[in-house]
Chains A and B, each alone.
Chain A
Amino acid sequence: MAILLLAEHDNHSLSEQTAKALSAAHEIDDDIDILVCGYKAQGVATSAARLRGVRTVFLAEADYLEHQLAEAVSATILTFGKAYDTFMAAATANGKNILPRVAAQLDVMQISDIIGIQSKDTFMRPIYAGNAIETVRSKDTKKVITVRSSAFLAMGEGGSAKIETIEPASDPQLTTFLNETREINERPELTSARIIVSGGRAFASQEQFMSLLVPLAKQLNAAIGASRAAVDAGYAPNDWQVGQTGKIVAPELYFALGISGAIQHLAGMSDSKIIIAINKDREAPIMQIADYALEGDIFELIPLLQKALSQ
């Protein structure tokens, strides 16, 4: 009985999502190994080994693993991981891409996006964009699980697991990486930020979105989010999107500015501890769920908010 947890990383640093998935794993079993698949990712393995409650960190490195393509990573998980009975990853773009491929090859159903653990085989997960919570019991002998990391606290450091290098599976040669464009983001990472300021369609242009939200975010040391409407209108890059089809967040403070609160958006942020909404429309759904709702024009109120915060 042991769990193999796939590390979320970019070859340079280990994402905090791994520490959160690790604490979910601890609610299932104590024997947890972490697998790092990548290229020149020694530093990632070192960080993973420092997390509390990790038995061994296994490092599989190859040039064809650099971009963690699903075909190559799942092949390595399957050849290396035969003895494990549970496979886990954070429900990130990578986790979602890779783990179902592992599940199908093991002939088991994946349990996606768990937010709660009742026992070794019983899990809670949101369905219908978070409008219902389903409790499922897995009848499969092996389990493949992705973790909604915003539902778990990050496991702290203080461990000293050993690191072992393993031979990755050979390159399946099904896909080739061509290129990647990453948004340069000086703000804290959206999924782990303590404070998020999020903007919607009411900003009306990319210039206004950036000129109003960025200074406010800087002042609060907050990450910046956006509604789907704002992203689709081109005001914000798509990896800022909070919602069912974007990122799922649960910060301590969530500022929803000029966001109406469509179901698809609420699914991504309604677990925030405190929600603050500023909106012209007092009937907007976001105003009904906000802890503090302020009716008014964002163009007037955001500068006032900045002034009040600096006092």
Chain B
Amino acid sequence: MKVLVGIKRVVDYNIKIRVKQDQSGVELDNVKMSMNPFDEIALEEAVRQKEAGKIEEIIAVSIGPQAAQETLRTALAMGADRAILIKSDEVNEPLCIAKALKKIVEKEHVNMVFLGKQAIDDDCNQTAQMLAALLNWSQGTFASHLKLESQSAEITREIDGGLQTLSVKLPAVMSVDLRLNEPRYASLPNIMKAKRKPIEEMELAQLGIDTSRRLEVLKVEKPSPRKAGQKVQTVDELVDHLKAAHLL
């Protein structure tokens, strides 16, 4: 079985972001960037399935600027076999990303696509579902457990009331949730080895898909700040305040 893992380069999750003065977006210059945490989990799962003998080849793919190559190197160091960088200097929407991934799926004849359930920058939670729709494949979203067979996958999903397990016919698209696994750190020997693994590069514009933005960003603002609260010294004082405000 051959799988594709989607990797997005995003602002590191520990960074407190700053909104640009002109409200055109979020400051990305000189900000630490990393692999989207959900994508790390998707990749880790693919590597574990490969180690268990269920997967033969893992292809990591990223759509983004030239600098996304570093993120793909990390993916190779974690255990991907090879990588594809689809270069684009624009911010691409999930619909466009899903169309680009579809092209790669068709070219590489993969059996399954592993994606994070959402990117921590745009918080869209769309790409996996859109890709599954475009391919007319089954989807297993928000996965917290995977049992991979040759023709199907048993996917346990996190839903609002608890957990749901589905049998998903392959080929399929899976999006992963945080609890699926704990991603490994790439070891130094693996980082060295990753330097020799191939990264194929192509231009998004050459894939022959519509890359135009459907959502025009009019502005990006800071959320309105909460007004400063007060310190209370005792539980009684707290309860008095709440009662006085008719909250209890």
Contacts and interface: CB of A to CB of B under 8 A. Distances in A.
Contact of B123 (A105, A112, A137, A270): A112
A74 B125 CA distance: 16
Contacts of B241: 292
Interface string A185-229: 000000000000000000000000000000000001000000010
Given A71-B138, A96-B125, A244-B123, A301 B160 contact: no
A135 interface: yes
Interface in B196-248: 213-223, 226, 229-236, 238-239, 241-242, 245, 247-248
Contacts of A108: 95, 214
A180 B123 contact: no
Interface residues of A, number: 83
A138 B95 CA distance: 13
Given A133-B220, A245-B177, A293-B231, A181 B17 contact: no
Nearest to B175: A97
B71 interface: no
Interface string A60-94: 00000001011100100000000000000000111
Interface string B83-105: 00000000001110010000000
Contact of B226 (A107, A220, A289, A304): A289
Nearest to A67: B164
Contacts of A125: 123
Contacts of B132: 70, 101
A164 interface: no
B163 A180 contact: yes
B215 A101 contact: no
A126 B235 contact: no
B163 A181 contact: yes
A174 B137 contact: yes
B17 A131 contact: yes
A112 B126 contact: yes
A85 B154 CA distance: 36
A104 B129 contact: yes
A139 B216 contact: yes
Contact of B164 (A126, A180, A294): A180
B178 A97 contact: no
Interface stretch (B51-59, B166-174, B183-191): B166-174
B192 interface: no
A165 interface: no
B25 to A, nearest CB: 8
Given A112-B123, A178-B166, A275-B229, A93 B177 contact: no
Interface size class of B (residues with CB under 8 A): 35 or more
A235 to B, nearest CB: 14
Contacts of A126: 123, 223
Interface in A138-184: 138-140, 173-183
Contacts of B138: 71, 174-175
Q: Which one of A96, A134, A135, A252 has the greatest number of beta carbons of chain B within 10 Å?
A: A134
Interface string A5-26: 0000010000000000000000
Interface string A285-306: 0000111111100000100110
Contacts of B67: none
A165 B242 CA distance: 49
The B contact surface, by secondary structure, is mixed
A173 B218 CA distance: 41
Contact of A132 (B19, B120, B167): B19
Contact of A70 (B121, B141, B247): B141
B225 to A, nearest CB: 9
A294 B242 contact: no
B181 interface: no
A127 B129 contact: no
B46 interface: no
B92 to A, nearest CB: 11
B124 A274 contact: no
B168 A109 contact: no
A32 interface: no
A15 to B, nearest CB: 9
A104 B123 contact: no
A263 B16 contact: yes
B129 to A, nearest CB: 4
Q: A-B pairs with the 7 shortest C-beta distances?
A: A174-B138, A100-B129, A104-B130, A109-B214, A104-B133, A291-B229, A100-B126
Given A97-B129, A127-B26, A177-B165, 19 more contacts: A70-B129, A101-B132, A103-B126, A103-B133, A132-B221, A133-B222, A134-B219, A137-B218, A139-B213, A173-B169, A181-B162, A291-B229, A291-B230, A292-B229, A292-B238, A301-B235, A305-B235, A305-B238, A308-B235
Interface of B: 11, 13, 16-17, 19, 26, 93-95, 98, 120-134, 137-142, 144, 154, 157-169, 172, 177-179, 213-223, 226, 229-236, 238-239, 241-242, 245, 247-248
6 contacts: A93-B142, A132-B17, A178-B154, A180-B164, A264-B13, A291-B226
